[in-house]
């Protein structure tokens, strides 16, 4: 009997069926060990010696694997076919060697690109040894991420309170988003005009032609700058006669693109379906690991972390056969299409993402898949099949027209496209993203019959004013595309990088656009000012290339670390003498458009408008940065650091907006803006009552009625008919609530706080008592029971105060926001529980061995999304960022001075 080790239990179950009784397949549940996030995990002074830690959940997994290996004939490492998969195999093997359970038993490494019976059996017949250069590349990447995160983050905490952490790839990705925001802020819109003529042929067909030449010169794009010029040219066209000067019909062939890589799949899923990068990878992982299709479990797609664009020869043959049967013989090109990869590292350029069996059409698979799985499989199948189809044949017609007004001449052009043969377009066309044209080439429309030298009748002249627009903010898709173009990060890292930026609140995702939070812009400005080299695109891309060369066996991984550490450590040391005033001076200049927005009256944006003499500047408080006056405390003007238009304008002046008096107290109600946002205040002085605006309330919408309702919370609703005790409604840290007899019940919306009546309030309280789960110490009812844990005890899905989660005994594991609670499977639940135990220790209690750790050392998004979260827990500094900030940085008043 041979022991086979894979990552996930779902994968293990499927492969065990393929291999039969002669094999025992066990899951490692991702990585079995990692660098503990504490000082000393990587020791540069000891030639980068690395200390690894096995978390409690992985210890049990490794014990099961070790016990099985003892009784086996050999070990087969069958983890995923990439750098992280190779690293997991290396970790497992190293731990087994230390346990001395291998003896002289053979150890082999096998890789398969798809979880199908044929792919697995073929891989078993062609074992190899561990790819040590690939492992070295993993070690170098992991050490770099640790050294950057663990050494750079404390600098941020000390010099820039409110900052979370910084990482190698994450910081550069954040800079891209912030640089784009700066471009938008600097952008100056320019006016331009477009002119066109609606013309009619002698046969009565109408079409539109655009003005492209005038005054004997070809007009450049947006070349008509003023309304006067537009009116002059419009007059010329109004009185002109029109004749067709030239008609050219040109056949054009459009070729299909290659099958998906990781990044192109994430981009297409974003533009077509609105999927985040992480959601795309979650769904793809399930399609790869296996779906039950009528009693047979099979992987429907090949491995989804790849930068390769070519399909295996047998897959190409299968695709061509499917094209013939599905679309017809004309859609099969004479020769198979071959695509070359753009990946710099052949070691990681695996086969493109494709269906494992082209005969499994999306329509056939639909009944076995949930909605998201079907949509993604449909996308992958169509893109892969289209990559081997015939070219689309398009006829592009260009008509040149001469306008003559008593010797004043102008040129117009009409362009139309007609698809003569759709070819690959019958299966797949790219979705437009940020103004890009789609692949069908039919955006220009179709022209009627137009003949050379014939006269045309003018129907109407159209003149339209336009203004140039700033570059669009990045979406997840366009940012991934840009990172790939620059060579920053690798296929497995994009989703995790974006998730890290969002989790640390460096960016906000609004309508699929990435907007840098003020915190993110501060961090980027700080790094650009004091760690310039390490957020440069070329430097990061060059480092990625060195890591690729390590995996190809061309560079020594420790020498790459030595070269990096020498300069990086010197830069870290230089910041020790850096004063907060130096930081503020630098940030004031780099972030001038954000800190000192232009005023409509043209006055100096750096002079305080409240006192008229103080200079405005960034200030650093224990909760982060804000704008304040140099005359503090005599002038207490403060403003949030926020670049979002209306909110920033509302906060531009610290002058209270009078809303009227409170009829009960006679005190004035005012709308104000502080460093933590807009708020309502009743009265003046230290005893004045204040209340922040609830989430979703805009300052411009606040009137006397709303202000009065908010400032008088909590609101007494009435006495409970049974207890006789008062029921009140209010807003708390966790949202709107009802309070009765010391117990709380959640309300669905903020509006309920102001409108709920006594009858409904009594009902809500009764429902809470009948189905507890929102109060402290109570357990929500199970939404779904998944089955028993391998170690005993039921696993259930529940909906708690902070959202849905998986429960096993005392362990509660949060379900990712992007996943519906009712879609969680037993395999996914086991992974979530193992991750939770890894973070907190057995039974959900903090593990002693993990106390002195640091959030800074966690991967910055460079660690692959497929790997299990690391065993290391948070450090005191990371677990209590506010406390760390208090100790490391001056208090607000000191910083202001």
Q: How far apart are CA 138 and CA 132, in angstroms?
A: 10
3-class secondary structure, 313: helix
Which token pair is 315?
């897959």
- The helix (run of H) or strand (run of E) holding residue 238 is helix 227-238
Pairwise CA distance, residues 620 & 525, whole Å: 14
Q: Rounded to 5 degrees, what are φ and ψ at 514?
A: -95, 115
Tokens of 840: 């907190």
Q: What are phi and psi of 516, to 5 degrees?
A: -70, 130
Catalytic residue among 18, 242, 303, 534: 303
Is 138 in the active site? Answer: no
CA distance 783 to 526: 47
> Residue 483 has which token pair?
């990172």
Calculate the alpha carbon distances from 376 to 282, 288, 292, 316 in Å: 11, 12, 17, 21
Residue 404 neighbours by CB under 8 Å, 6+ apart: 240, 241, 243
Task: Count other Cβ atoms within 10 Å, centred on residue 73.
Answer: 11
**Adjacency order of strands within the sheet including 715-719:** 715-719, 726-732, 735-740, 743-746
d(CA 77, CA 110): 6
Q: What is the distance between the alpha carbons of residues 128 and 722, in angstroms, rounded to a whole number?
A: 75
Cα separation, 373 vs 281, in Å, equals 11
- Buried residues in 40-71 as b, exposed as e (16+ CB within 10 A): ebbebeeebeeebbbbbbbebbbeebbebbee
Q: Where are the beta strands (DSSP E) in 611-708?
A: 616-621, 624-629, 638-640, 657-661, 668-674, 677-682, 689-692
Cis, peptide link before residue 633, omega less than 30° from 0: yes
The phi, psi pair for 890, rounded to 5°, reads -65, 155
- Of 621, 535, 622, 617, residue with least CA distance to 173: 535
Dist CA 319 CA 388 (whole Å): 7
Q: How far apart are CA 118 and CA 111, in angstroms?
A: 13
**Omega cis (within 30) before 5:** no
Angle between helices 537-551 and 132-159 (to 10 degrees): 150
Give residue for tokens 């910081």: 171
Q: Which residues are catalytic?
A: 303
């Amino acid at each position: 009997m041979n022991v086979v080790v894979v990552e996930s239990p779902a994968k293990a179950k499927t492969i065990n069926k393929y291999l039969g009784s002669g094999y025992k397949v066990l899951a490692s549940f991702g990585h079995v060990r990692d660098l503990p996030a504490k000082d000393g995990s990587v020791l540069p002074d000891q030639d980068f010696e690395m200390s690894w830690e096995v978390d409690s959940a992985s210890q049990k997994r490794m014990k099961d694997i070790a016990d099985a290996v003892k009784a086996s004939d050999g070990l087969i490492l069958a983890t995923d076919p990439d750098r992280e998969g190779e690293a997991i195999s290396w970790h497992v093997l190293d731990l087994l060697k230390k346990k001395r359970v291998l003896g002289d038993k053979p150890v082999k490494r096998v890789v398969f690109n798809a979880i199908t019976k044929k792919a697995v059996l073929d891989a078993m017949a062609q074992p190899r040894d561990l790819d040590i250069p690939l492992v070295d590349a993993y070690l170098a990447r992991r050490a770099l991420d640790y050294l950057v995160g663990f050494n750079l983050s404390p600098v941020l905490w000390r010099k820039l309170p409110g900052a979370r952490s910084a990482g190698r790839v994450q910081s550069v990705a954040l800079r891209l988003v912030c640089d784009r925001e700066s471009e938008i802020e600097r952008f100056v819109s320019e006016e331009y005009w477009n002119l066109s003529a609606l013309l009619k042929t002698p046969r009565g067909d109408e079409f539109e032609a655009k003005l492209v030449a005038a005054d004997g010169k070809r007009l450049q794009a947006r070349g008509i700058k003023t309304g006067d010029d537009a009116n002059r040219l419009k007059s010329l066209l109004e009185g002109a006669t029109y004749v067709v000067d030239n008609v050219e019909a040109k056949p054009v062939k459009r070729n299909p693109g290659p099958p998906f890589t990781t990044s192109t799949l994430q981009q297409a899923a974003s533009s077509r379906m609105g999927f985040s990068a992480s959601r795309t990878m979650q769904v793809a992982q399930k399609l790869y690991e296996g779906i039950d299709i009528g009693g047979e479990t099979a992987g429907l797609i090949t491995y989804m972390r790849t930068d390769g664009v070519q399909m295996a020869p047998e897959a190409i043959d299968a695709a061509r056969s499917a094209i013939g049967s599905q679309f017809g013989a004309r859609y099969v090109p004479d020769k198979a299409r071959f695509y070359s990869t753009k990946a710099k590292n052949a070691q990681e350029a695996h086969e493109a993402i494709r269906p494992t069996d082209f005969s499994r059409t999306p329509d056939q698979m639909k009944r076995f898949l949930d909605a998201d799985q079907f949509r993604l499989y449909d996308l992958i199948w169509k893109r892969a099949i289209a990559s081997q189809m015939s070219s689309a044949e398009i006829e592009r017609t260009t008509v040149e027209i001469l306008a003559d007004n008593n010797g004043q001449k102008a040129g117009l052009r009409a362009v139309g496209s007609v698809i003569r043969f759709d070819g690959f377009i019958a299966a797949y066309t790219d979705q437009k993203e940020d103004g890009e044209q789609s692949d069908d080439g039919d955006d220009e429309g179709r022209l009627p019959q137009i003949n050379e030298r014939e006269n045309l009748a003018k129907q109407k002249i159209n003149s339209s004013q336009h203004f140039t627009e700033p570059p669009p903010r990045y979406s997840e898709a366009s940012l991934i595309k840009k990172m790939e173009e620059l060579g920053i990060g690798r296929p497995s890292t994009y989703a995790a990088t974006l998730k890290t930026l969002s989790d640390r609140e460096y960016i906000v995702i609004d309508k699929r656009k990435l907007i840098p939070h003020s915190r993110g812009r501060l961090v980027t400005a700080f790094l650009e000012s004091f760690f310039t080299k390490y957020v440069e695109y070329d430097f990061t891309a060059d480092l990625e290339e060195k890591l690729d060369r390590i995996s190809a066996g061309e560079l020594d991984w420790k020498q790459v670390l030595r070269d990096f550490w020498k300069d990086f450590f010197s830069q870290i040391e230089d910041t020790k003498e850096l004063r907060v005033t130096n930081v503020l001076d630098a940030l004031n200049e780099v972030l001038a458009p954000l800190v000192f927005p232009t005023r409509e009256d043209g006055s100096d944006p750096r002079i305080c408008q409240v006192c008229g003499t103080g200079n405005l500047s960034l200030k650093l408080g224990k909760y982060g940065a804000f704008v304040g006056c140099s005359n503090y405390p005599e002038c207490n003007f403060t403003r949030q650091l926020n670049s979002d238009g209306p909110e920033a304008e509302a906060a531009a002046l610290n002058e209270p907006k009078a809303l009227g008096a409170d009829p009960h107290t006679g005190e004035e109600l005012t709308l104000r803006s502080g460093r933590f946002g807009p708020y309502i205040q009743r009265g003046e002085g230290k005893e004045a009552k204040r209340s922040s605006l609830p989430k979703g309330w805009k300052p411009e919408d606040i009137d006397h009625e709303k202000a009065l309702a908010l400032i008088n919370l909590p609101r007494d609703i009435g006495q409970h008919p049974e207890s006789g005790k008062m029921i009140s409604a209010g807003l708390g840290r966790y949202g709107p609530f009802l309070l009765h007899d010391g117990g709380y019940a959640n309300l669905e919306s903020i509006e309920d706080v102001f409108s709920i009546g006594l009858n409904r309030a009594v009902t809500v309280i009764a429902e809470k008592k009948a189905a507890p789960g929102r109060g402290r110490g109570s357990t929500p009812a199970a939404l779904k029971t998944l089955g028993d844990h391998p170690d005993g005890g039921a696993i259930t899905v529940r909906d708690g105060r902070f959202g849905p989660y998986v429960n096993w005994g005392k362990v509660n594991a949060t379900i990712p926001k992007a996943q519906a609670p009712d879609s969680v499977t037993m395999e996914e639940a086991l992974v979530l529980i193992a991750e939770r135990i890894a973070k907190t220790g057995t039974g959900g209690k903090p593990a002693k061995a993990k106390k002195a750790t640091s959030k800074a050392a966690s991967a910055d998004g460079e660690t692959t999304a497929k790997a299990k979260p690391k065993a290391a827990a948070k450090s005191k500094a990371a677990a209590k960022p506010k406390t760390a900030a208090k100790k490391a940085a001056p208090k607000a008043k000191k910083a202001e001075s």
